[in-house]
Amino acid sequence: MLAVTGCVLAGALEAADVEVVKVGSIKTTLSLSRMSGDAHAATQTFRAVLEADLLRSGWFEMAGQGATIEVSGFGRVSGDRLSVPCRVVNKLTGRTELSETFTATTAEVRQLAHRTADAIVFAVKRVPGIAASQIAMVGAHVGRQDLYLCDADGQRLRRATHDGAVCLSPTWGKGATELLYTSFHNGYPDAYRIDLVGGRRTRLAAYPGLNTGAVLSPDGRRIALTLSKDGNPDLYVKDLKSGVVSRITRTQYAAEASPSWSPDGKQLVFVSDRSGRPQVYVKTLFGKTAVRLTYEGRENVSPDWGADGRVAYSSRTGGVYEICVYDPQTRRHVQLTKGGADWEDPSWAPDRRHLVCTRTAGYRSHLYVLDVMGDPPLRLTTSEGDWYSPDWSSQ
């Protein structure tokens, strides 16, 4: 992980143009011609999902003979178990990058293919895969709102809550087994944590006024969130073990929102309208001053601090919201989208290459996946309704 220091971020004080950059993705050729199996439907599904996952990763293009990477294996179903030996060879070096047998029940064939794809990506590229990760979101349909989950390919859409009430800002808790979010199901905007395995819901903050934007620290010990219990909406950090709440900002006549932790857990990036319009700022937890990160664009909101130090955010420019990324190493702001709709709520994938975001056009909202290396956006949600406020799991 890249530790972003205050002196690096200080460069953001100098106003800089946002560049629109589209870099062509350089891909490695890969062959699945020697990956086959028996005639069972689960085996065939495995092969199809695996290929789709490897293409979606952005690192590969499919080829036949002459491909740099060759994947081989023969999947078989015995009873309700699918077993797939997988061997990955770099034909240029002759090196075997992966040799492993993957097994699961036939009912879990998609998850098995996702795990296999991620293993191949890591073996060849030494970066985390995204196929087995999950995405949380808010879904609105027929006047009801609830939290939903889906796989990184948009499949297996399932409901995580059944309140039918206004809910906001889902973020992942520990691992991929719990979510933090704000719900009005009791009539007030309180912050909750829900266990996705057992379904147990715990109230994290229920102070007078707003309790929203809760996000877990990298060490899992604290949450940052916005509270208005002392007047204006400000940022606070709550220790989950002791319950002690510490106030991080004290901005009179302004509001702070949308906190996101730095990779080392020592800083927060957030939105404040202290300048008159919403802009993105960074602050050391108990430091005295905040550093303004954005200057271009009428409004800059929804920051997400990635594991490699880059900050994604949504910038209102030309009458619509666009997704931008700030790189503290180069001190450049790069715009990933270009008009045609409002692009909002970016969230980093575990591979540090992709983002999931909300695209709103014609009063309808759907989730899309963006590739910072230049591949075209991919629509993630297809079901009826509106889908927004996504958060990508870290694993």
Residue ranges of domains in the chain, CATH in brackets: 28-125 (3.40.50.10070), 135-392 (2.120.10.30)
Return the closest-CA partner of residue 333 out of 353, 313, 317, 356: 313
Among residues 98, 111, 108, 90, the alpha carbon closest in space to that of 29 is found at 90
Token pair for residue 48? 């199809």
H or E segment to which residue 297 belongs? none
210 and 224 in contact (C-beta within 8 Å)? no
pLDDT at 24: 54
CA distance 220 to 229: 24
> CA Rg, the chain, in Å?
22
Per-residue model confidence (pLDDT) at position 355: 98
Per-residue model confidence (pLDDT) at position 241? 95
The reported pLDDT for the residue numbered 14 is 42
pTM over 0.85: yes
pLDDT in the model for residue 221 = 96
Q: Which pLDDT belongs to residue 11?
A: 40
Cα angle for residues 66, 69, 71 (degrees, 5° grid): 110
Which CA distances in Å does 174 have to 216, 260, 263, 304? 8, 15, 15, 17
DSSP state letter for 44:
H
3-class state of residue 319 by DSSP: coil
pLDDT in single tens digits along all 395 residues of the chain:
233 333 334 344 444 555 544 555 689 999 999 999 999 999 999 999 999 999 999 999 999 889 999 999 999 999 999 999 999 999 999 999 999 999 999 999 999 999 999 999 999 999 999 999 999 999 998 889 999 999 999 999 999 999 999 999 999 998 889 999 999 999 999 999 999 999 999 999 999 999 999 999 999 999 999 999 999 999 999 999 999 999 999 988 899 999 999 999 999 999 999 999 999 999 999 888 999 999 998 999 999 999 999 999 999 998 999 999 999 999 999 999 998 899 999 999 999 999 999 999 999 999 999 999 999 999 999 999 999 999 999 98
pLDDT of residue 334: 95
Give the per-residue pLDDT at 114: 98
Q: Is the dihedral of CA 31, 368, 366, 179 positive or negative?
A: positive
pLDDT of residue 17: 55
How high is the pLDDT of residue 149? 97
The Cα 216–Cα 225 span in angstroms is 9
Predicted confidence at residue 143, as pLDDT, reads 83
